[in-house]
Structure 1
């Protein structure tokens, strides 16, 4: 899934990688959601995405369970790609490099979220409208 042909992370790189996401990638995210959450929480660079990460995983879960379907595949793929990128320790800048290891993860997540911001808001509105307020983790 990860193409290392590029030396930089930009909007085009993220869009191209999102286009390659398959349904099985969503399963990998769901199977590793605790590890992804731990990585986000333990990284100073990614910590600001802790609550958003929970919302994105919740959205994937509701989508996968057929509870929430009012979302384009691109949004599901963007969430899966962003979270899988965080999970992968050997991405463009390996996570174990002190000080800069999570900079690329931050960039990928930022670009991914920029593409899907409206859909995240729609999902949160839906959760509140459906009386699922207690399930929204924000």
Structure 2
């Protein structure tokens, strides 16, 4: 993250999260494949791919009403971070090789730091749900 400081990433994340409305959750879910491709295809973001899948799952379960034991600020931060990754012209435009994705990775890292406890609780809940469906 040489091109974006953790403080700047957090500032960008907070700004994005403040703009998120519940209708934006549907937009994130519709663009999931495109956003996930950015995680898969860029070395600076590939390490976050599994967490990104959890982030999408959290949004999907929140959107459907299956999981509401999470503060809106967590959902907004996750959606804001994922929407930021989707934006081609962000702090450092994505068409700039390597550096263009470092800001995306910084915003995702800031988001994961901010929402880690809530995401871990969601992941535990999800495992329990998956096991109860198998039984």
**TM-score tier after normalising by the smaller chain length:** 0.7 to 0.9
The 8 Å contact of residues 39 and 48 in structure 2, kept in 1 or not, is answered as yes
* Distance in 2 of aligned mates of 1:12 and 1:83: 15
* Distance in 1 of aligned mates of 2:108 and 2:11: 14
* Distance in 2 of aligned mates of 1:10 and 1:116: 14
User: Which residue of the partner structure matches residue 5 of structure 1?
Assistant: none
Task: Work out whether 1:122 is the aligned partner of 2:121.
Answer: yes
User: Which residue of the partner structure matches residue 85 of structure 1?
Assistant: 84
More helix by share: 2
The 8 Å contact of residues 16 and 84 in structure 2, kept in 1 or not, is answered as no
The 8 Å contact of residues 9 and 104 in structure 1, kept in 2 or not, is answered as no
1:128 positional shift: 1.9
1:57 positional shift: 0.4
User: Which residue of the partner structure matches residue 50 of structure 2?
Assistant: 51
Structure 2 residue runs of 5 or longer lacking an equivalent are: 1-6
Task: Work out whether 1:66 is the aligned partner of 2:65.
Answer: yes
Per the normalisation by structure 2, the TM-score is 0.87
Task: Work out whether 1:96 is the aligned partner of 2:82.
Answer: no
User: What is the number of residues matched between the two proteins?
Assistant: 127
* Distance in 1 of aligned mates of 2:30 and 2:43: 24
Task: Work out whether 1:23 is the aligned partner of 2:22.
Answer: yes
1:125 positional shift: 0.8
Q: Structure 1 residues 119 and 39 mapped into 2: Cα distance closer, same or farther (>3 Å)? A: same
Regions of 4+ moved over 3 Å: none
* Distance in 1 of aligned mates of 2:70 and 2:41: 30
* Distance in 1 of aligned mates of 2:93 and 2:9: 17
Deviates more, 1:65-74 or 1:19-28: 19-28
